[in-house]
Amino acid sequence: MKWLHNILKASTLTTALFIFQACYGTPQGLDMGVTPMTFVLEADKAGTPLEGIKILANRGNADPLELGITDADGRCSVQMPFSWEAEKSSPIRFEDPSGKYAAKDTTFEDLSERDIVIKLIETTNK
């Protein structure tokens, strides 16, 4: 009879662990992957695509990390680490090396979509 009791105990524990994993999945750390994001940069008034705009991620006191540069269509796909998205406070900067367009900063709280259109304002210093 004692062996039947031990079998029931073991099966109950196994069932509980199975249900937990089925509901919550396997545990994953915050830095175990990346989130793909696509940015399209356009001129504010004309709506034309902007090529050569740098996409930078602020890393606190360290130098900004360059995530990518827009192509001729104004598009750039980047891979954002999960840990940065979880913080939702790491600013992303869009910067024109030529200075024709004003730099723009944003955070993940502003980026609810994955295909994001960013409009940069032309500066008066052409």
Q: How far apart (Å, rounded) are the C-alpha atoms in residues 76 and 2? A: 65
Q: Please, what's the b/e burial string for 22-36 (b: 16 or more CB within 10 A of its CB; e: otherwise)?
A: eeeeeeeeeeeeeee
Q: How far apart (Å, rounded) are the C-alpha atoms in residues 87 and 99? A: 30
Can you give the CATH number for the domain in which 57 is found? 2.60.40.10
Q: Which of 40, 113, 36 is nearest to 78 (CA)?
A: 36
Q: Which of 88, 87, 74 is nearest to 120 (CA)?
A: 74
Residue 84 lies in a domain: yes
- pLDDT at site 87: 55
- pLDDT at site 81: 62
- The predicted-structure confidence for 8-49, as pLDDT tens digits, reads as follows 887 887 887 777 777 766 555 544 556 677 888 899 888 899
Calculate what percentage of the chain has a pLDDT beyond 90. Answer: 17
Structural domains counted in the chain: 1
